[in-house]
Structure 1
Amino acid sequence: MSIPEFDPAYGRAVPLAEGIARLTAKNPSPFTFHGTNGYLVGRDELIIIDPGPEIDGHLEHWLAAIGGRKVRFIAVTHTHNDHSPMARRLKAETGAPIAGFGPHRQSRPLFAGETNPFAESADMTLQPDVVLGDGDSIAVDGFALQAVHTPGHTANHLAFALQSTPYLFCGDHVMDWSTTIVAPPDGSLGDYMASIEKLLERPETVYFSGHGDIISDAKGVLRATRSHRRMREKAILERLAAGDETIAGIVEVIYRTTDARLHGAAALSVLAHLEDLVERGRVTTDGPPLLNNRYRLSA
C-alpha cells in the first residue's frame, strides 16, 4: 500500500462537508500516521467525535474550534489512548456527556499465563455517560448520528453514520494509509471480518477515518481490506505448509518489507489470524493459541 499525502493542519479545524470539520491531534507515530483525527459535527450546536489524546495544547485547539458553540455530546468510537482520553477534559470544559458503546473490555478473556500486550494503550477508566447500542442515535442541530457496532479492532468499537448522508465516521476500522491492527485479546479477527461485511451492506460510501484523509471509495477500501486479510491468511497457511511453526518465523518472512518497529504489532496480527484458524479447525496448537506457541496445519 502506497502511503498517501495528508496535511494534518495541526491546531486548525478543516471543513470537510456541510456541518463537518476535522481537527487532527499532533501525535504522529508509526501507529497513528500524522495523528488522530477528531471531528466536529453540527453548526450552531455540536457533537464532537474522538477528541483524542491528552497532549499539550490539544484542549486549547478544541476550544478554539468550538468557538463558544454549545457541545451537546462527546462521542468516542473506542477507548484507545489516542482517541478518548481528552473526552474527560472536554466534558469538564463544556458540560457535554460522553457517549460510547461502553468501557474498555477485551474481545475474550485472557488465557492462563497470557498478558495483554496492548493494555497500556487502552483508556481503561473511561465510562460513557450515554451508552449507545447498535442502531442507537444521538442528534444535534439537524444532524443525527447512528451508532454502528463494529467490533474487531476493539470489542467496544463504534462507527457513526450521519443519517440522510453518504458519510460514516469509521474510527479505526479502516484507514487510507495502513491496515488496521487487530490484536488479541483486545481485538478479534473473526469479529473484524464480520464488521467488514456489516459495513459493506450499509449505504454509506464516504468514510471519515480516525487517521489519514477522507476515504471517498469506502466500499472499494472495505473490499480491498477484506482481500488483504484473506491473502494474509493464505500466506500464513503457506508458511505453515513450508514448515514454519512459530509466529516469529512467519513474521520474518511475510513482513520482511515492513518497518521493523511494527514487527511486534505484526506478530499480534499473525496471532489474530492463527487464533481464528484454530477456531475454524484449520490449524492446531497445543493448548490455547498464544504468541509463543508452535502451530501446524490440521490433519
Structure 2
Amino acid sequence: MSYTLSAAKLQTYHRCPRAYYFRYERRLDGSGFYGSTALGTSLHQALAQIYQDWHYQDPVPRLDWIEYCWNQQIGDLTSNQIAEGRAILRRYYYSFIASQSAMRRPLAVEGRIQGCLQVENLEFVLSGRYDRLDYCGDGLELIDYKSAKEIETIEPDEIDLQIGLYYLALEQRYQRSLKQLSLLYLRTGEKFSYTATPGHRQRVEQVISELAVELRRDRRWLPVPGTQCDRCAYARYCPAMRQEPEPLPEAARPEPGLQLVLSLN
C-alpha cells in the first residue's frame, strides 16, 4: 500500500493537520486558492523550450531565439498578455542569459521526480515537479519559476519541507544531493536561493513519520490556529474557527478507513 506525497501536502499537514484532513482525506474543494494563469503557463513553456531546444553550439543565444520561443507559446493569450509576457522574457534574458559568459545546459527541464520512504509499515511515494534542474558543483540546483504578480511570503518551515522532499527524491533519482533550491520570480527578475543540507532531509522524514501516525493510529487531525486561518478555504467547517461549524457538504468524500493513495495536489 503506497501514498503519493508532494511538497504541497507536506506543507499543508505541517501548517494544519485539520486543513490536510479537509483537503486530502475528505476531498473538499479549495480550488479558489490554487491554480495558474494562462500567461504563467505560457511563460513556463517558453522557458522550457528556450533551454531544451537551444543547440548550445554558441555560448549565448540572441534575443531573437527568446522571441521565437515565446511566439510558439502564445496560443490564445490576449494582446496585452502577449506583450506582457514578451517584456517579462526580455527582462529574464538580460538578467539571467545575456549577462553570463555562456548559457549552461540544464540536466532537465519541466519534469517530475519520485522517491520512496518506508515509515510505520507504509510506503510513501515522494513526488514533485520542477521547472529546471541545473548542475551545481557536485550536486544539483532545482529552479522553480514563479509567475505571480507579487512575491509570496513563504514560511521558513515550508521552504525546509520543500527542500527536504526534493533532497530525498533527487538523491534517489540522480544519486546526487540537492545543493540549492531557487525561486525565480519572473515578473520582478528576483531570485531567492536556499542552501540544502542533510538536515532538511531529516526534517522531512520527521514530518512524514508524524503523518504516518495519523494515518495508522490517531486520526485526530487536530487544527492549528494561526494567521493562515484568515485565508483558509475550510474555515467554516473548522471547530477551531467556529463554535458551531457548518456540516461538510454532501459532495465530501466519505470518512476513509485507511486511504489507498494520496493524490499529488
The answer to whether TM tops 0.5 is no
What's the TM-score once normalised by structure 2's chain length? 0.35
If you compute each CA radius of gyration, which structure gives the higher value, 1 or 2?
A: 2
What's the TM-score once normalised by structure 1's chain length? 0.32
Q: With a CA cutoff of 8 Å and minimum separation of 6, indicate the structure with the bigger relative contact order.
A: 2
